[in-house]
Chains A and B, each alone.
Chain A
């Protein structure tokens, strides 16, 4: 508990620091007048620019603006969007709708990737330097080194037209997905599965590529440990050695990576979302950044920072549960 309290306090300080830096960066690089011109267009009257600047607290000092924003945040108000496409819309609503869609889009492939990558990496380690290992390593390296955008284009080009005509890349027709959010989205995905197969498959393949490499490397390290050799010397079966003595400690790097993946789950897989026109956090983040939608960018950054802190905390806790040595060292 003491450890958790310490980490929580540490996380809160990080979030505070991130919020100040994130708040200052756009204010240092953009003037209130530029924001007003961009939002209202160059045909607006000077009085409209002044009113916009005043209504959005942009004519106050930075500490005043920061306090205004922080006070709103503490009361659940993330401000109003500056994006001309969603001008004046509460940021909370925008993020809420997009985040749930990204969550339901990213979580299933991530879980599937873990279920594929762990046994794959384990088996590769077991069959080290054998034909299967070479073949799997080649395939995984190809996936690992392929840019996400290229993989998406290849999949759209071939898996939809030449090989599997029944599949459609999401975004070609079914843009109504944007209007479904929250708990209804999983059902929508199930009923329109043909549109989500390719983006989810792309995410799965890219994630497997990374995780299986870490799993293989970790398992190779574990296989040469004394306790594994002892287990073998005691006559334990191969499956017992692999699953009882190698699997658990080998998953620690994977757990670390998964902990760091929590922000990805909330922020969406940016490139894949863009390529498949998936209406999630990735596209919202890009659009908000490009259009100087400061309130939305601030909110997203803070949420991702929060997710990073929580992800790391969860990873630490999981590692304690998985590896008894960490638990022991923690107690000492």
Chain B
């Protein structure tokens, strides 16, 4: 299997930091070795797959109004080391993770201050060897708790609960301390410090006798290539013979091969030296419909390969610089442009995106439109079922919307103190609309997309200056605040391992990834409603999500929604069995039946 160009795993510790938060590290290495408590995604389903999860679904109680999730762990699931020694995956394995999260939350890449675990956890209780209760400080949404919070838990073996090499399992006491105990922070910090140090010592990874050899997943790491102390991307996994969960691997090994450039990877595909790889849309057969589905297309020019679209549970967008004074981000606070604060102008911009044709022409159907706003269109879910995307491409609608607010042929015709704006954000008579759009250079398909949108926006009367920059410059300008910007696109957002698309990290006032300074009390209230929104039952909750939060976030346009490019993946025709990836990008080669 080939890594996508320039990408490979370099971190094994499943208590991953922000810098190690990547598909390569988590989906292509860690989850293959160490099973998360709840496994999400298989085939085209994003749902939790209970048969693949060590944890059973929680039961809920609300003593005193506080939600408590109680879950059991399947008996017989174990961690196994290289000598066949087994350690039961049990309540202590889960509490070990939760105690560490409580002690050093900032070192975990999915930590959101103020939300969920650990900030909203009152207590964690071990009911028995296979049962744990987590008590929260309010009556939260169960959907949110199970899909965004409990989904983060990666049970860890007590063999890792040490502070120095050679110490006995559990001597670090992080796995046995009480969650609110006096020593838990000190003990777990010491254990984390040791484990993080071992994680940074990459030479220990492929030593199956080291602590990283305690695996609970279907695979073991046999080889982890190094050059000058850094990972090379050469990675070999072999079946974990001690694995006692479902779906055992049938192949002798899975070899990952790195590539620095797309050209080199395409060349390797052409020569048939790899069985699964990635190539640009331009090198493969166009998919018959958006999303790349209708998979198993014969691959043009790549020989014995089928090509299929990859999927990702996320969405693409450009940050909007609202420039509000409440922003926690310096640049947003320094630049205020009234036009950006007018929802109708942001809506007009969406009318100017011919997303259907962009996906068809520029992405060759290896992509999807932003039809669901913050809810991805593919894989399908019932979260946005029946919700119609309100901004189908229409220059006419865009112009009409602008005209209704006073902009005629791109010029504000309203006079008075506020003109075409509001009291807080006045737009003067005779003003025109000018923005800049900073985006990452180097992707020809995206550049063509931007040029098409620029032309359409100009037809509506909105002048957009395109500014293609390197990733470094975008980070410097948009996330740090080194230069002025209006719109800024840098990748997108993937919901993992917080699968429920509540987007609090993006939309909530002052949130960590709210780089544009979006500030809306109503949105904050709706977000709080989706996360702490009371004791809704599963079936009752989703309509509220849809009718309240989702539709509001669509029509408010807090970020400029854009179609998502989903690069095609190629699979050798020699591979039999299921395509070994989940819609959440987790690699599942144990489903390959033969080669």
Contact = CB atoms under 8 A, between A and B. Distances in A.
B264 A93 contact: no
Given A171-B267, A172-B267, A179-B234, A45 B106 contact: yes
A162 interface: no
A93 B228 contact: yes
Contact of B261 (A45, A46, A277): A277
A169 B267 contact: yes
Interface residues of B, number: 50
Given A96-B228, A171-B267, A274 B261 contact: yes
A312 B110 CA distance: 53
Interface in A124-156: 153, 156
Contact of B110 (A39, A43, A94, A156): A43
Contact of A97 (B19, B228, B481): B228
B19 A44 contact: yes
B195 to A, nearest CB: 15
A153 B10 CA distance: 30
20 contacts: A30-B476, A31-B482, A34-B479, A41-B21, A42-B515, A43-B21, A44-B18, A45-B111, A84-B19, A85-B6, A85-B10, A90-B229, A96-B228, A168-B271, A171-B267, A173-B271, A173-B274, A175-B225, A175-B233, A277-B264
Contacts of A287: 6, 260
B228 A94 contact: yes
B81 to A, nearest CB: 25
B259 interface: yes
Interface string A158-179: 0011000000110111011011
Interface of B: 6, 8, 10, 17-19, 21, 106-107, 109-111, 113, 200, 225-234, 257-261, 263-264, 267-268, 270-271, 273-274, 470-472, 475-476, 479-482, 490, 512-513, 515
Contact of A45 (B113, B470, B479, B480): B113
B230 A45 contact: no
A279 interface: yes
B319 to A, nearest CB: 11
B106 A48 contact: yes
Interface string A67-97: 0000000000000010111111110011111
Given A33-B480, A45-B111, A292-B472, A171 B228 contact: no
Most A CB contacts (10 A, CB to CB) among B228, B273, B482 go to: B228
A41 B228 contact: no
A34 B229 contact: no
Interface residues of A, number: 55
B21 A172 contact: no
A277 B261 CA distance: 7
- In the A-B complex, the 9 residue pairs with the smallest Cβ-Cβ separation, listed nearest first, are A44-B18, A86-B230, A97-B228, A34-B476, A93-B228, A178-B232, A94-B228, A33-B480, A172-B268
Contacts of B232: 175, 178-179, 279
Contacts of A81: 230
Contact of A173 (B110, B273, B470, B475): B273
Contacts of B10: 84-87
Contact of B271 (A33, A43, A172): A172
Contacts of B271: 160-161, 168, 172-173
B306 to A, nearest CB: 20
A31 B268 contact: no
A37 interface: yes
Given A33-B480, A97-B227, A179-B225, A38 B471 contact: yes
A283 interface: yes
Given A172-B273, A173-B257, A175-B232, A87 B19 contact: yes
A239 interface: no
Contact of A43 (B225, B230, B512): B512
Contacts of A275: 261, 263-264
B367 to A, nearest CB: 23
Contact of B260 (A46, A90, A283): A283
A41 B234 contact: no
Nearest to B274: A173
Nearest to A292: B472
B227 A98 contact: yes
Contacts of B479: 34, 37, 42
B268 A171 contact: yes
B472 A38 contact: yes
